Amino acid sequence: MSKKSELALFVKVRQSQSLLIFLVLLHSVSALSVFMIAAVLWFKVALWFCIIGSGYFYWCRYQNQSYCFAIKYSPEFLWQLIGNDEKPLNFKILKSTVMTSFLIVLHVKTDNTYRYFLVLADSTDDESFRKLHVLLKINPENKDDS
pLDDT 10s digits, 90-123: 888 888 899 999 999 999 898 888 989 899 999 9
My answer on whether 89 and 46 are in the same domain is no
**pLDDT above 80 for 48:** yes
Q: Let me know whether 79 and 140 are in one domain.
A: yes
In the predicted model, is pLDDT for residue 81 greater than 70?
yes
Residues 76 and 47 in one domain: no
Q: Nearest-CA neighbor of 82 among 73, 72, 67, 92? A: 72
Kindly state whether residues 138 and 81 are assigned to the same domain.
yes
Same domain, yes or no, for 33 and 91?
no
Tell whether 82 and 140 lie within a shared domain. yes
In terms of domains, do 72 and 105 share one? Answer: yes
Can you give the pTM of this predicted structure?
0.76
Backbone angles phi, psi at 33, to 5 degrees: -70, -35
- Asked whether 88 and 73 are in contact (CB, 8 A), the reply is no
10 shares a domain with 73: yes
How many structural domains is the chain composed of?
2
pLDDT at 145 over 70: no
User: Strand 78-82 to strand 88-94: parallel, antiparallel, or no bridges (unpaired)?
Assistant: antiparallel
Same domain, residue pair 53 and 75 = no
**Residue-level length of the chain:** 146
pLDDT-based confidence at residue 143 (cuts at 50, 70, 90): low
Q: Are residues 38 and 94 in the same domain?
A: no
Determine the structural domain holding residue 52 and report its residue range. 17-63
Query: Do 102 and 46 share a domain, yes or no?
Result: no
